[in-house]
Amino acid sequence: MSLDWIYYAISWILLTWHSAWDAIGVPVGAVLGTNWAWILSIVFLVVTVRVILFPVFVKQIKSQRAMQALQPKVKELQEKHKGDRETLQKEMMELYRKEKANPLMGCLPMFLQIPVFLGLFHVLRRLDPGKSENNKTLYGWAVEQFNSASSAKLFTAPIAGKFGSTADELAALNANGTTVKVIAGILVLVMMGTTYLTSRQMILKTGWAEDPQQRMVQRLMLYGIPLSLLVSGSIFPIGVIIYWVTNNLFTLGQQQWVLRKFPPLVTANTKATATKAGARGPVQPAKAGGGLFGRKPAAQVPAEPVAPKVAGPKPGARPVNPKKSRPAKRQG
């Protein structure tokens, strides 16, 4: 299947934003060795995509809440069918179907962004000033726009350059190999760090899943993907890494807003996760354990202790002689 429609869509968004930044006076030439109009075009490509995918993100949060609410039932099934993995999987699939929860929904926004990532990767990889004019006008580009983008830089490193660029590729981009490696290497490390933090942020709030499949997905998101970027990041153009880092920062902000506005259910599993992560104390649910507006019911408020009457005589009372209350000794 041809992916040209993706390349046309990505090119159109990039060129539209670039025209907008030109219109409002963002410098076309390099400032601090950076062509900010093209950098901002990539950043706002992220904003455009995330606005389009916001309804999917809301569904992702709802699905994660549903999965979290099902954790006690999942744990019961695990104890009931311990040692019978096949039956356990069938029972859990039936539970998810009945409760309309999808374990894979948490990865859906990421999967939907893969075509955008591939489209941007392809478009930026084509930015070779040595191409013929016919190739420069593919996907709706004008020759002038193509030449401008192919010479765009971030701190003197071309956005089409990558850590693993060959000498011929660097020569075509008129780029310094050391500068490209330094800028690309720093961005790859930032990409790995922000990718890790996006997963860690969600796990700290929702806790590790009881479902083995869900836990495996969480570990893959937390550790596997960031580590894979150490290798794959060397073939990503700098512009693509800028897209990835911006997308991660957008995700961190969006998740923080959603988790603060709609705090997830707090379970023992969540508390254990927070404690392992170095939290000072167990996580407490917002407004939990109380009545309306989070106030404690009167029955839960302990009454003040009342001193026993025998603690001492009342003021003004005559002292009681304890000897009188004892039986007299019998004289032997």
pLDDT in tens, the chain (332 residues): 578 999 999 999 999 999 999 899 887 666 888 999 999 999 999 999 999 988 888 777 777 777 778 878 888 888 888 888 888 888 888 888 887 777 777 677 778 888 999 999 999 999 988 888 888 999 999 999 999 999 999 999 999 999 999 999 999 899 999 999 999 999 999 999 999 999 898 788 777 876 677 788 888 888 999 999 999 999 999 999 999 999 999 989 988 887 787 676 655 555 555 555 554 444 444 444 433 233 444 444 455 555 555 555 555 555 555 555 455 555 54
DSSP states along 10-58: HHHHHHHHHHHHHHTT--SS-BTTB-HHHHHHHHHHHHHHHHHTHHHHH
Q: Reduced to 3 states, what is the DSSP secondary structure of residue 30?
A: coil
- Beta-strand pair 157-158/153-154: antiparallel
Domain ranges of the chain: 4-275
Confidence at residue 316, expressed as pLDDT on a 0 to 100 scale: 58
Name residue 240's amino acid: V
Q: Rounded to the nearest 5°, which phi and psi values hold at 160?
A: -90, -10
For the CA atoms of 270, 275, 281, 285, the dihedral, rounded to the nearest 10 degrees, stands at -10
Positive or negative, the Cα torsion across 273, 66, 115, 216? Answer: positive
Residues in the chain: 332
pLDDT of amino acid 215: 83
Q: Which two tokens stand for residue 33?
A: 């060795």
